[in-house]
Amino acid sequence: MKRDPVDILIQMAFLEGNVTTHGLYEETVLKKKVGDEASKEARRNLIARLEAVLNEKAQAQNVRDTIGSFLKNIRLERSLQPQEISAQVGIGGNIYRMLEEDRISPLKISAASWKNFRLFLGVPMEKLEDMIRRTLQLIVFQPSFKTTLARYKDKKGGGKKADALKRAARELYSKAKLPLPEKDERELSELLKEISA
C-alpha cells in the first residue's frame, strides 16, 4: 500500500520536532487512514503548505549568512537603500553591489570598512568573522564548479539541473567548513585581527 504524502510529511515534521501533538500523535497520525473525501486539489494545497512550513523552519535553523545574504536581509528589514549602507561603511556603490551578490572577496575590503560595517549594522565580531569566512569560501571554491555546470547546460533539459546544482554548490561552499588555501587563510587571519583590534 502506498503511503499518503500528507501522513509522511506530518510524521517527518513530528520526528524533526517541528510539530507538537501533545500525546495525540499515535491516535491522529500513525493510526489514521486518510479518506478519499478530500479533493485532490485540497490535498495538493495541504502538502504544499506543509512542505513550505518545514522548508522555512529548516532554513531558519540551518541558514548561515554570507555577507551578501546578510546585507540583502538587513537592507529589506530596515528599508535601507544600498547607497545608505555603502556610504556608512565607506565603500563605493559598485563594491557594495558585488558584496551583496557575494561576487567579491571580503579580503579586498579594508579592515576600516569592516569596522564601519560592524558598527553601522550592529554585527557582533563572531558573526562578522563567520560571514566573512563563508563568503570567502564561496568566492574561492565556486569557480571550480563551473565546468560541472557547463556539462549540464549542454544537455537537453540541463538548465534546470544546472540551476539546482548551482544552488547546491553555493549552499555547500557557503555553509561547509572547508579548508582555505594557505595564502587565503593567512590573509583572512590578518584581516580579522585588524578588524577586532
What are the tens digits of pLDDT across the range 1-19? 455 666 666 666 655 555 5
Q: What is the DSSP letter of 107?
A: G
Is the domain of 77 the same as that of 153?
yes
Distance CA 163, CA 158 (A): 8
CB-based contacts of 152: which residues, under 8 Å, 6+ apart? Answer: 158, 159, 161, 162, 165
Distance CA 106, CA 110 (A): 8
Is the domain of 51 the same as that of 145?
no
Is the domain of 113 the same as that of 182?
yes
Q: What's the domain count of the chain?
A: 2
Average pLDDT over residues 175-197: 88
Is the domain of 58 the same as that of 72?
no
Question: DSSP 3-state helix, strand, coil percentages of the chain (rounded to 5)?
Answer: 75, 0, 25
pLDDT tens digits, 56-67 = 655 554 456 889
Domain that holds residue 53: 5-62
Is the domain of 152 the same as that of 186?
yes
Is the domain of 184 the same as that of 122?
yes
Is the domain of 169 the same as that of 125?
yes
